[in-house]
Amino acid sequence: MSRKNRRKRHTQQSQPDSKIFFSLLTVRLLKDALHFFEAFLRCEPDKTPNLPFAKEVVAGLKAKLNEMLEREEWHEETPLDYNEIHLLHTSCAMYLIELKFTHQYTLIPPCIQLCKQLALVVEHVDKEVRSQH
């Protein structure tokens, strides 16, 4: 293995994990957004090319969010993979439109903030993936 490849491999392995901290309100917002996304999947099954995988990711996320809400100690970490983060971001963006449409104005600012937070993580991971290829 050349020096350049070893250095590149070492750099990729030594990167710290990204962490996002969610408040109780945020977890509830994520849960509502995910529920909205799940309803969308049921309404548009023909337009979703990878429906079984999407349903699997949604089910896993729902379980993780429920676990977060039921937990007494909020300092425990819940790992989320790229697909889960990406789906949460998409769910929040779609839910934001629903919030505006249904005039739920108090939830719009935290939803916008959450979309921005999740977008940063998605963009960061996308850049890492592109740099590896």
The tens place of each residue's pLDDT in the chain, 133 residues long, gives 555 554 444 444 434 455 677 888 999 999 999 999 999 888 877 777 888 898 999 999 999 999 988 887 777 888 888 899 999 999 999 999 999 999 999 999 999 999 999 999 888 877 776 777 6
Separation CA 38–CA 76 (nearest Å): 26
Separation CA 64–CA 30 (nearest Å): 11
Q: Is 58 contained in some domain?
A: yes
Q: Is 5 contained in some domain?
A: no
Q: Is 119 contained in some domain?
A: yes
Give 12-72 as a 3 state SS string. Answer: HHCCCCCCCCCCHHHHHHHHHHHHHHHHHHHHCHHHCCCHHHHHHHHHHHHHHHHHHHHCC
Q: Is 54 contained in some domain?
A: yes
What domain range includes position 125? 23-132
Separation CA 26–CA 32 (nearest Å): 10
Task: State the total domains in the chain.
Answer: 1
